[in-house]
Structure 1
């Protein structure tokens, strides 16, 4: 692998630093920067198509990106406190050290804060922003692969040769990195799996970085396809959150890097994994299956949604009288499950609102809540109770008719006209 893509030769003598021969350009940093550039053009292009203000969205993208990077670093630090001993360790990201879900949470909060100050609803922006998250996954995970972090469990002996080659990470050359160091997989296998320290490469493992990169590409295609069938603002955002949650939960099962962080409690694997997959299936049946227009296909998808849970229960079932294998959920699995179920509930609420008010649901000024025709108009003032009409009284005249009658009465105040009118009334032939 290539943790350093190239070096910029300098040969400078800097104060407080000393002699600097060259500046290394790390592969992960390059891929992270590339993902931000691609996301910029993708997000602003989609925002412009939707009629969102370009300048405001551009500024919001910068705020969102900064908040995402900061929060992804914070979540990594929280889940790996033993790795950090100084401020320099916290600020150094040459070897990665970011958590995707931390970036999603940070980006969401940053967007919400900025758009709230601009009086712009969040959901229209979220719909145009999440495709860039999918493209970012596809790009940044290549950076993880080049560095060698976020690797998977060792492959079985029967695994294909090409997959073993993809999942083998090297001991770094002494001229490339400090002596005795290697890719994270190589280091972990030497420490925990008895790998010979003189070995040039790690054990063959699942290249989960490549798997997740492919997941990012598939999600990007799915989101762009779903945009053409969008019924309400927030639908694309909810779809990404749910679909990525399912994929990330499954990928975490075969991840093996210790940096991912685990919750402190453990549960029998043959119960934990199928149980969580059942919850995801319920989220699909109740919420996201509504996207399928055909009743037959939608009902067929209900049954298929429970197949992964059934397969997991069969594959993970312990042998008779054998002790169950206890496993904890990773931090990302907990977030994936919680966020997936939350957006499934939100999808139902927003979809019901879209059915009641389809035009309002797609307007840029709302985020999917039910809006009535009279919303925003001043409530009419209560009318004063009218006096009861007594028997023999004439019914009250409308105000306008009463005013007109008064004006006509005013015009008849001429005495000569009154006398002429009286004579006319007295003469039946007039």
Structure 2
């Protein structure tokens, strides 16, 4: 995953061969680097990267709320943005150090290297730096606890790297220098031979894949029982990965260089040392000050409860909107049924005007009758 080589020199229709002469009495694999869909080449490398990201997301979303106290909806926004920023920064990192490498072709510039995505690659440390910076920004925007998010992301990183490295297997890249012919993992392949290497080499991608898988298993159980402060899993991930990368990078033949130094080897050594030192310091401070994990804090419970209420409100509004037309129709039907009864009732009841007229006529009749009686009395 440090170098994602999209070189088009080996088309998906060309059959490739990879051999492990000393593994299980001799293992030989023949395969294609990809396949075509409507004439468009689809590489197994990209598919493996996608599978790694998918499985990492499924894992972290399952544990996110219960074990880390993070809202899935909020964290999804952070992960989505950080993944995109991480890939962009991984490409920038690769292009910067490729341009600075004195052994690079003279026509290489940052712009040409960055835009030629089928002739170049990405660098994992650039991706980690970009994902952390992007994650920090979006954690602030979405009110997600940053150091806890780093712990979750670290477990996802290990899953993605363990699976994604098998893309290097398919591409026959990220291999090392010549190794002893009797080494159990000694490897040779048709693409490697085409580059002028006739002997057996170290399968560096395999070493890293296995190391990341072991790291994931270790940190998975550690995070369940032994985690005492937020950010602890991320620090252990940086130290674990840096330790392996420092030694394996020394075996590789395609390292990014800064002068005579391997960039990833320097970054691995520095990051491993700093991460382990920070782990020890925070472990001691947490024990002394008895600082609770975010998942056990009131802030986490309050935010999760607020999100649940907001989600319930959204659902109720959606349900009400969905049922509104049916209720309107039912109300109209009831009104139509009530109309004949109302009209009949109105027909039976005299209007106010008629009542007033009747009262006036009655009063007039009474007055006339009184006048008649008065005249009769005078006549007598």
* TM-score > 0.5, shorter chain as reference: yes
Match of 1:113 in 2: 137
1:25 aligns with 2:38: no
1:256 aligns with 2:253: yes
Match of 1:155 in 2: 179
Q: Calculate the TM-score normalised by the size of structure 2.
A: 0.64
**Residue deviations 1:297-355, cap 9 Å, x none?**
xxxxxxxxxxxxxxxxxxxxxxxxxxxxxxx4x11111111111221232133212211
1:60 aligns with 2:57: no
Match of 2:200 in 1: 204
- Distance across 2 between alignment mates of 1:96 and 1:134: 23
- Distance across 1 between alignment mates of 2:32 and 2:253: 20
Q: Secondary structure at the match of 1:206?
A: coil
1:5 aligns with 2:29: no
**Residue deviations 1:152-192, cap 9 Å, x none?**
111223334xx33xx2121xxxxxxxxxxxx3x3354x2xx
Match of 1:390 in 2: none
| Runs of 4+ with deviation above 6 angstroms | none
Q: Secondary structure at the match of 1:6?
A: strand
Gaps in structure 1 of 5+ consecutive residues = 10-21, 171-182, 196-201, 266-327, 367-430
- Distance across 2 between alignment mates of 1:92 and 1:218: 35
Match of 1:75 in 2: 93
- Distance across 2 between alignment mates of 1:154 and 1:3: 25
Q: Secondary structure at the match of 1:153?
A: coil
Q: Secondary structure at the match of 1:7?
A: strand
1:85 is displaced (CA, Å) by: 5.7
Aligned-pair Cα RMSD in Å: 2.4
- Distance across 1 between alignment mates of 2:294 and 2:65: 16
Match of 2:308 in 1: none
CA gap 1:237/1:186 in 2 versus in 1, 3 angstroms:
same
Match of 2:151 in 1: 127
Match of 1:242 in 2: 239
Match of 1:351 among 267, 272, 283: 283
- Distance across 1 between alignment mates of 2:168 and 2:73: 33
1:26–1:94 CA contact under 8 A, matched in 2: no
- Distance across 2 between alignment mates of 1:234 and 1:251: 26
- Distance across 2 between alignment mates of 1:26 and 1:363: 41
CA gap 1:352/1:97 in 2 versus in 1, 3 angstroms:
same
**Residue deviations 1:9-46, cap 9 Å, x none?**
2xxxxxxxxxxxx1100121111111111121112222
2:155–2:216 CA contact under 8 A, matched in 1: yes
Match of 1:216 in 2: 212
- Of structures 1 and 2, the one scoring higher in RCO (CA 8 A, sep 6+) is 2
1:51 is displaced (CA, Å) by: 2.2
- Distance across 2 between alignment mates of 1:123 and 1:38: 22
2:78–2:142 CA contact under 8 A, matched in 1: no
Q: Secondary structure at the match of 1:254?
A: coil
Match of 1:47 in 2: 64
- Distance across 1 between alignment mates of 2:176 and 2:51: 25
- Distance across 2 between alignment mates of 1:143 and 1:229: 33
1:130–1:237 CA contact under 8 A, matched in 2: yes
What is the correspondence of 1:294-305 to structure 2 with a 5 Å cutoff?
none
2:96–2:110 CA contact under 8 A, matched in 1: no
CA gap 1:86/1:109 in 2 versus in 1, 3 angstroms:
closer
- Distance across 1 between alignment mates of 2:280 and 2:110: 47
Q: Calculate the TM-score normalised by the size of structure 1.
A: 0.57
1:148 is displaced (CA, Å) by: 1.4
Q: Which has the larger radius of gyration?
A: 2
**Count of residue correspondences:** 262
